[in-house]
Amino acid sequence: MAQRETSAVRSEEEPLLSVDNLQTAFFTDKETIRAVDGVNFDIRRGETVGIVGESGSGKSVTARSIMGLVDSPGRVLEGSSIRFDGEELTEKSEKQYRNLRGSDIAMVFQDPLTSLNPVYTVGNQIKEALRLHQDMRGSAATDEAIDLLEAVGIPDASRRVTEYPHEFSGGMRQRAVIAMALACDPELLICDEPTTALDVTIQAQILELLHELQEERDLAIMFITHDMGVIAEISDRVNVMYAGEIVESAPVEELFENPRHPYTQGLLQSIPGNQPDADRLQTIEGDVPTPNEPAGYCRFEPRCPKAFEDCTRVHPASVEVDSDTDDHTAACLLYPEDASRQEAVELHEQRESEREVSKR
Ligand SMILES: Nc1ncnc2c1ncn2[C@@H]1O[C@H](COP(=O)(O)OP(=O)(O)OP(=O)(O)O)[C@@H](O)[C@H]1O
Ligand code: NI
């Protein structure tokens, strides 16, 4: 878990990325899938923000929305705001977005082969990124490519720079992709399950590498995974997603010590090793519903062990978990926990009606 002395100072600064009421929907013949439905979060410089949730919860669509990579029939809806370094990204043209990707924001995916071209050497691909984004060529670019491969922990970099992607192991390929991302000198690195396909030892090494790079370069990282163990390793702050919404947000230690949303509590119980007596993974029963209608209720209610009647009728807003806390929110009618149940429900109703008004 990363900790830095500057965090108090940092929290005064304008966030590098500010996502506000992000809504991304896919308009299929059959239905409208609200893959991301009113998501809010910030990322500060030098901070790692984890996004965790089960398959289908909207993590990748959130990342692709920020990157301007949502494919038809999907689009980012009116009323969504994505501010990066003071600029509104939702207003950018396709060309402006192309310039931004690979220079200020870079992305690393689960499968390194989607980012590497098999017919060029790894070195040439890094050099191409250096030429495009830093106008660097020739022997200077070759030297920089070797430096970058060394920076991501690839041994014997001056030889490996001349090799092709198929000559690299899975872990080394992902390191090469990270080197390519760094060639653009990004401020924000979005990682979508970058270690999921790797074995546990290699995974730990890549997480360590990202951590080092972040400290050296003051990188902001948005890290997507469905693995709570990985989230604990890498994040400063965690956002838990469920059916297109962020249901809980807290600093990483706080989230693990004191999870409040019943969904987060369920996710944490399903980490192997958390119940030494269980011979089977305890998972939350049921599946993430497809968010295909506006949420007028809690989408987790059908699976929630703590649900009560109001949960089927009131959509929970993100509220502080209690009145003493200001950086831990949960979208659940049980909170704030120091309010009576009736007060809490009324607060959620009020917040929701304010949200409706501001949307118009
Ligand atoms: N191109 C598309 N067309 C229609 N629906 C889509 C499309 N892409 C994503 N979706 C839907 O959006 C929802 C969120 O998908 P997303 O890929 O963001 O989930 P995820 O949290 O990244 O899951 P995973 O852990 O499996 O990667 C899902 O219901 C998915 O079916
Ligand atoms: Ni995904």
pLDDT by residue (tens digit) across 177-204?
999 999 989 999 999 999 988 889 999 9
Is residue 281 pLDDT above 60, yes or no?
no
For ligand 1, pick from 24, 51, 61 the residue to mutate: most ligand atoms within 8 Å of CB. 61
Q: Which residues line ligand 1 (CB under 6 A)?
A: 26, 28, 33, 35, 53, 55-61, 71, 74, 226, 290
Angstrom CA distances, 112 to 12, 201, 270, stand at 36, 17, 28
pLDDT at 358: 67
Helix, strand, coil distribution of the chain in percent, nearest 5 = 40, 20, 40
Ligand 1: which residue has its CA nearest to atom 5?
26
pTM more than 0.80: yes
- From the centroid of its chain, how far is CA 206? 17
> Ligand 2 mean position to 173 CA, how many Å?
20
Output 130 or 8, whichever has higher pLDDT: 130
Q: Closest ligand to 59 CA?
A: 1
CB atoms within 10 A of CB 91: 9
Ligand 1: which residue has its CA nearest to atom 29?
56
349 lies in some domain: yes
Tokens of 6: 């500057």
Tell me whether the omega of the peptide bond preceding residue 73 falls within 30 degrees of 0, making it cis.
Answer: yes
**Domain end residue (candidates: 155, 184, 213):** 184
Tokens of 322: 């209690």
CB atoms within 10 A of CB 95: 8
Residue 32 and residue 26 in contact, taking contact as beta carbons nearer than 8 Å:
yes
132 lies in some domain: yes
**Domain end residue (candidates: 184, 200, 231):** 184
**Domain end residue (candidates: 184, 207, 229):** 184
- Same domain, yes or no, for 166 and 261? no
For ligand 1, pick from 27, 51, 57, 196 the residue to mutate: most ligand atoms within 8 Å of CB. 57
- Same domain, yes or no, for 180 and 259? no
> Ligand 1 mean position to 56 CA, how many Å?
5
> Ligand 1 mean position to 58 CA, how many Å?
6
3 state SS of 108: strand
> Ligand 2 mean position to 128 CA, how many Å?
28
Which of ligand 1's atoms lies nearest the C-alpha of 28? 4
Tokens of 340: 């009576």
> Ligand 2 mean position to 57 CA, how many Å?
8
Q: What is the mean pLDDT of residues 301-318?
A: 96
Which residues make beta-bridge pairs with 17? Answer: 43, 84
Which residues make beta-bridge pairs with 87? Answer: 84
Ligand 1: which residue has its CA nearest to atom 19?
56
Is residue 22 pLDDT above 50, yes or no?
yes
Tokens of 102: 């690979």
Ligand 1: which residue has its CA nearest to atom 27?
55
> Ligand 1 mean position to 71 CA, how many Å?
11
Average per-residue pLDDT in the chain? 91
192 lies in some domain: no
Number of domains observed in the structure of the chain: 2
Instruction: Give the whole-angstrom CA distance, residue 234 versus residue 308.
Output: 35
Ligand 1: which residue has its CA nearest to atom 13?
35
159 lies in some domain: yes
Strands (E), 85-146: 87-88, 105-108
Domain range for 281 is 255-359
127 lies in some domain: yes
335 dihedral zone (left: phi>0; alpha: psi -120 to 50; beta): beta
Judged by average pLDDT, the poorest of 27-31, 68-72, 91-95, 270-274 is 270-274
One-letter amino acid at 336 equals P
- Same domain, yes or no, for 259 and 180? no
pLDDT at 273: 62
> Ligand 1 mean position to 34 CA, how many Å?
10
Angstrom CA distances, 326 to 8, 78, 107, 251, stand at 14, 29, 31, 11
Angstrom CA distances, 225 to 92, 172, 203, 208, stand at 28, 20, 12, 16
DSSP per residue over 195-212, as a string?
TTTS-HHHHHHHHHHHHH
Spell 328-357 as b/e; 16+ CB within 10 A means b.
Answer: bbbbbbbbbeebeeeebbebbbebbeeeee
Instruction: Give the whole-angstrom CA distance, residue 150 versus residue 134.
Output: 19
Instruction: Give the whole-angstrom CA distance, residue 143 versus residue 145.
Output: 5
89 lies in some domain: no
344 lies in some domain: yes
Is residue 276 pLDDT above 70, yes or no?
no
Residue 66 and residue 19 in contact, taking contact as beta carbons nearer than 8 Å:
yes
Instruction: Give the whole-angstrom CA distance, residue 330 versus residue 316.
Output: 9
What phi and psi, each to the nearest 5 degrees, are found at residue 198?
-100, 155
355 lies in some domain: yes
Which residues make beta-bridge pairs with 331? Answer: none
Q: What is the mean pLDDT of residues 253-280?
A: 80
Is residue 228 pLDDT above 80, yes or no?
yes
Exposure of 104 in the CB half-sphere (CA atoms within 13 A): 17
Spell 11-46 as b/e; 16+ CB within 10 A means b.
Answer: eeeebbbbbeebbbbbeeeeeebbbbbbbbbbbbbb
